[in-house]
Amino acid sequence: MASENLTASSYIQHHLQNLTYGQHPDGTWGIAHGAEEAAAMGFWAIHLDTMLFSIGLGILFLWLFRKAAKKVSVDTPSGLQNFVELMVEFVDQSVKETFHGKNKVIAPLALTIFVWVFLMNTMDLVPVDFLPHLASLLGVPYFRVVPTTDLNATLGMSISVFILIIYYSIKVKGVSGFVGELTLQPFGKWMIPFNLLLEGVGLLAKPVSLALRLFGNLYAGELIFILIAILPWGIQWALSVPWAIFHILVIVLQAFIFMMLTIVYLSMAHEDH
Amino acid sequence: MNINLTLIGQAISFAIFVWFCMKFVWPPVIAALEERSKKIADGLEAANRASRDLELAQEQATKTLRESKEQAAEIIEQANKRANQIIDEAKEQAITDGKRLRDSAQSEIEQDVVRAKEALRSQVSALALIGAEKILGASVDQKAHSEIVEQLAKEL
């Protein structure tokens, strides 16, 4: 724990606080100390820990895969290449099963989502106090190491996917086709307001559900790790080990679901009804 | 939970990662995978073709072998026939030659016999004459009696 006289609730709150950099209400720039200060910064603040880990893990992913892709060999694949090929083939298979059109973006997009989200989720398996404690030794007051427990990260991805959905809907069906899809079904042209409400909610629910599903799963997982960490140190392993093993499944599954739903949404955007 | 600039930062980094993946990671790997699967398909096809070729070649070989065996048998048969023919011809030739030789020898013998008889006859007439001369003690007029003597010799 960060300090000896911490209560359980403040310990939990401390762990759920991002390292937020922004402008204080009094006009100075700096790190927010506590949730109220972070909230007072409003929209124009940034979570340095989320950005650091998400970009770091993204670069790790691209560095690894690029390394394998640069010396890719047809006849004698090496160890790293085998792993990369496995991932690429798995993603390619998933995309081909779901999406039947021609699109050069979807498969790499799906690969990026899968591996990146998986890596970010994997940070959840690092013991909850390990990196924050190291950071506090370096003078960093707050440090959340799992980017996907930050709603900003998941929403950032799902909104990007949402923009792609709208882009491809308009590209494939045209503006009129897309508008028609939103207004003329399911009840025909005499019920346009109702149709618009229904389809609009359906459309907006896609990115929101995408972001909240991933965020909710990982947030809950992290919270339970934090709760386990409050227990006396001698019995922590009895709970944290089973939970971590179960969490391995959650990590992969959530990454896969995010990828799969992205593919499904984008293939729906390509289809005419 | 605060929604703030992190959202936009995440969206931008996500976009950059996807772009990088699309440009530099996905194409070489997927190209290698496709090339490998094509290679494997080609290899399998080549193997199929090779085994088909082998089958054809084996068939061809057995066929050729059978044909050459037949030819060899035919040649041997012909040679046998020819040999028999040659032997027959030679036999026939020998028989005719022998016959001819025997015939000519026989005719020669007969001529010799005739010639000997002739000579004998003439000598007998002379001997008879000498004998008669001796017997008669007198010389017989050869000219006057030659007709008789000759007749005698002919009777011999």
Q: Could you state, in order of their start, the residue ranges of all structural domains in chain A?
A: 47-270
pLDDT at B139: 60
Residues with Cβ within 8 Å of A267's Cβ and at least 6 positions away in sequence, in order, are A98, A99, A100, A101, A106
d(CA A58, CA B23): 15
Q: Which residue of A has its CA nearest to B11?
A: A156
Q: Which residue out of A136, A152, A213, A267 is catalytically annotated? A: A213
A213 is known as an active-site residue: yes
Average pLDDT, chain A: 88
Radius of gyration of chain B (CA): 61
B20: which chain A residues are within 8 Å (Cβ-Cβ)? 62, 66
d(CA B80, CA B45): 52
B28: which chain A residues are within 8 Å (Cβ-Cβ)? 69-70, 72
Sheet containing strand A29-31, edge to edge, reads A29-31, A20-23, A45-47
Helix or strand run (H / E) with residue B92: helix B26-136
B4: which chain A residues are within 8 Å (Cβ-Cβ)? 20, 22, 41-47, 152
Distance (Å) from the alpha carbon of A169 to chain B's nearest alpha carbon:
19
Give burial (CB, 10 Å; 0-12/13-18/19+) of A71.
Answer: exposed
Confidence class for position A2, pLDDT limits 50, 70, 90: very low
Residue B34 at interface with chain A, using a CB cutoff of 8 Å: no
Q: Could you report the per-residue pLDDT of A72-131, keeping only the tens digit for each?
A: 888 888 888 899 999 999 999 999 999 888 888 999 999 999 999 999 999 999 888 888
Residues with Cβ within 8 Å of A126's Cβ and at least 6 positions away in sequence, in order, are A145
Q: What is the signed CA dihedral for A36, A39, A40, A43, rounded to 10 degrees?
A: 170
Q: Which residue of A has its CA nearest to B30?
A: A88
Query: By percentage, how much of chain A surpasses pLDDT 90?
Result: 46
**Looking at the predicted structure, is the pLDDT value of residue A257 above 60?**
yes
**Looking at the predicted structure, is the pLDDT value of residue A165 above 90?**
yes
Radius of gyration of chain A (CA): 22
Q: Could you report the per-residue pLDDT of A191-220, keeping only the tens digit for each?
A: 888 888 988 999 999 999 999 999 999 999
Q: Could you report the per-residue pLDDT of A167-190, keeping only the tens digit for each?
A: 999 999 889 888 888 888 777 778
Confidence class for position A18, pLDDT limits 50, 70, 90: confident
Structure tokens at B27: 């194409």
**Looking at the predicted structure, is the pLDDT value of residue A273 above 80?**
no
pLDDT at A3: 47
A209 is known as an active-site residue: yes
**Which segments of chain B have a pLDDT < 50?**
none
Confidence class for position A12, pLDDT limits 50, 70, 90: confident
A217 is known as an active-site residue: yes
Q: Could you report the per-residue pLDDT of A19-37, keeping only the tens digit for each?
A: 888 888 888 888 888 888 8
Q: Which residue among B22, B29, B35 places its CB closest to the CB of A88? A: B29
d(CA A181, CA B131): 170
